Amino acid sequence: MELNERAEPRTAGEVPEAAVETGRRFPVVWLIPLVALAAAVWLAVVTIREQGPAISVRFENAEGLEAGTTKVKYKNVDVGVVESVRLLPDLSGVVLRAAMSRDAEPHLRQGTRFWVVKPRLSAGGVSGLGTLVSGAYVEMDPGSGDEQRAFIGLETPPVVRANVAGSEYILTAERLGSLTPGSPVSYRGLVAGEVLGYELAGDQRTVDIYVFVRQPYDRLVRNDTRFWNASGIDVAIGAEGVSVSTDSLQAILTGGIAFDTPLVAMDRPPAPAGTAFPLFKSQASVSEAVYTEKVPYLMYFEGSVRGLAAGAPVEFRGLKVGTVEDVSLVFDPDPVTVRVPVIAQLEPQRIAVVGEVEPMAPYDVMDKLVGRGLRAQLKPGNLLTGQLVVALDFYPDGPPAELKRGGRYPELPTVPSDLETITRSLTDLFARIGELPLGPLVADARGAVQAMQTLMTSSDFQRSATSLRQAADAAKAALVQVEATLGAVEGMVGENSALRYDLGATLTDMRDAARSLRVFTDYLDRHPEALIRGKPGGGE
């Protein structure tokens, strides 16, 4: 109500009266809830407009995840928060629901990856140490596909983020070895990329290894680029001795891959992403890859082949021309024989041809060489390791032979090794020595010496000077025979053998006896009266 006073004329002593008017006005007190309501509506609208979509991410377990607390981050900036974590109906894992910000909505697409950041020890080193204080969080790596709201989280962080420039390649190897995701890929000692992952190839016999090479190193990858396993320390013991090679300390600890490109290939365009390359076992095996032409041959060796194994070199006058592929043992019951077949791959590209030569088939060339005396022989390759190599050389004085082509592989003729030849010669020589009548000869020599000693002490010696001279001649003849026999076996009898000692002692005695007889007979010739008077100054 509103009171109004209107001034009207009045008489003296008259009391004025108030005139009251009634009206409707809005109470000021109601403005406060209206303003609060408007602010709430405005905040709700702003919140709804700024709130992004909700997403779900599946993990194997919920380690480090907490509803209402765990953040979703990108480059350490909050882009969402985990609202709930629950088990899947089949108990195969967990699924979290996260409310994302409006800024993250354009990046929630196919290819977007999520993983839990926590302390980890991997091939790339130690990561996530900061979460020891702040707690685990979910990291996002944006994708570039179609819009998506449900994702499968990674159990381990990706090796390479989506915004890193570079190219991926596929390497095919016989075995994985010590390579793991995160193992370095190096170029001349510089880390140029990482191993992304691996899987069994479609042929079920090889392994496909996926590697990522960052820019600008991916521009160095050509179709002729060679990749090799640089894991650990490569120790090789061969005919050349012991060789040790390694790439880097990280490669020693976690494994690694190295690559290089020949200078002649640098003018060619870079290989496109996704190109497949073979992964060689070592850097040494890369140089062998240039020899693509291989011709197999079969060789049979007699005697022991200890020290010969697959991978041993085949050499021609000290230069490698091939490799031994297989060494086995074959038993032939008719006739009963045991042979050692050796299969080797010769590489004609290792031999340069001088001048204009009409092309010939490899086997035709080998047939001509064999006709000129080419043979295969086992020779020591390394005295320290005892490894044998197959040596090819010409033996024009050897028995004639030819290249046999009737079997699966052409058979290359062989000759015994030097050690085998010496062993056979020694065996034959000892067999001949065993057939010599050394025992009777030694017995006869000893009998002759004893007879001469008896004769010299006999009382009838003075009357038998002439007989003594004849005995001396006979002893001398026996000595000549013994010397000839001893000379035949002297080179094959050891210095400390009993036979040589006995022969030497006997020869010495016979020489002394013959010398004494000769001196005595000469004295009798000059002084025959000594038979009656005796030697002056001596006894009878």
pLDDT > 90: percent of the chain: 27
Q: What's the farthest any 2 CA atoms get from each other in the chain? A: 223
The answer to whether the beta carbons of residues 315 and 347 sit under 8 Å apart is: no
pLDDT, tens only, 458-481? 666 555 556 656 666 766 776 677
Placement of tokens 């001196």 in the chain: 519
pLDDT, tens only, 158-199? 888 877 889 999 999 988 888 888 889 999 889 999 999 899
The stretch 41-58 carries a mean pLDDT of 78
The answer to whether the beta carbons of residues 389 and 312 sit under 8 Å apart is: yes
Work out the angle between the directed axes of helices 465-489 and 438-457 (0-180°, nearest 10): 150
Burial environment of residue 173 by CB neighbours within 10 A (0 to 12, 13 to 18, 19 or more): buried
User: What pLDDT was estimated at residue 3?
Assistant: 44
The answer to whether the beta carbons of residues 270 and 218 sit under 8 Å apart is: yes
Confidence of residue 538 (pLDDT cuts 50, 70, 90): very low
Question: In the chain, helix, strand, coil percent, each to 5?
Answer: 30, 30, 40
User: What pLDDT was estimated at residue 2?
Assistant: 45
User: What pLDDT was estimated at residue 148?
Assistant: 92
The stretch 40-48 carries a mean pLDDT of 72
Domain residue ranges in the chain:
49-123+148-152, 166-288, 295-418, 436-533
User: What pLDDT was estimated at residue 20?
Assistant: 57
Confidence of residue 515 (pLDDT cuts 50, 70, 90): confident
The stretch 486-503 carries a mean pLDDT of 57
Confidence of residue 46 (pLDDT cuts 50, 70, 90): low
Measured from the Cβ of residue 396, the count of other Cβ atoms closer than 10 Å reads 8
The DSSP symbol for 215 reads T
Which of these ranges, 52-66, 84-98, 121-135, has the smallest mean pLDDT? Answer: 121-135
For 378, the 3-state DSSP assignment is: strand
Burial environment of residue 254 by CB neighbours within 10 A (0 to 12, 13 to 18, 19 or more): buried
Is 50 exceeded by the pLDDT of residue 400?
yes
User: What pLDDT was estimated at residue 134?
Assistant: 77
Is 50 exceeded by the pLDDT of residue 392?
yes
For residue 348, what are its two tokens? 């004609």
Highest mean pLDDT among 67-71, 430-434, 508-512, 523-527: 67-71
Which carries the bigger pLDDT value, residue 417 or residue 97?
97
Burial environment of residue 109 by CB neighbours within 10 A (0 to 12, 13 to 18, 19 or more): middle
| Residue 99 neighbours by CB under 8 Å, 6+ apart | 51, 52, 54, 80, 81, 83
Q: In this structure, is the dihedral angle defined by the CA atoms of residues 245, 250, 253 and 256, taken in order, positive or negative? A: negative
pLDDT, tens only, 304-351? 888 888 888 999 988 888 889 999 888 878 777 888 899 999 988 777
User: Mean of the per-residue pLDDT values for the chain?
Assistant: 78
Is 60 exceeded by the pLDDT of residue 487?
yes
| Residue 471 neighbours by CB under 8 Å, 6+ apart | 451, 452, 455, 517
User: pTM (2 decimals)?
Assistant: 0.52
Confidence of residue 299 (pLDDT cuts 50, 70, 90): very high
Confidence of residue 539 (pLDDT cuts 50, 70, 90): very low
d(CA 310, CA 313): 9
Confidence of residue 486 (pLDDT cuts 50, 70, 90): low
The answer to whether the beta carbons of residues 171 and 209 sit under 8 Å apart is: yes
Q: In this structure, is the dihedral angle defined by the CA atoms of residues 263, 268, 269 and 273, taken in order, positive or negative? A: negative
Burial environment of residue 231 by CB neighbours within 10 A (0 to 12, 13 to 18, 19 or more): buried
For 263, the 3-state DSSP assignment is: helix
Give phi and psi for 378, each to the nearest 5.
Answer: -85, 130
CA terminus-to-terminus distance, the chain: 192
Which carries the bigger pLDDT value, residue 109 or residue 18?
109
Work out the angle between the directed axes of helices 465-489 and 498-526 (0-180°, nearest 10): 150
pLDDT, tens only, 208-249? 999 999 999 999 999 989 999 887 655 555 545 555 555 555
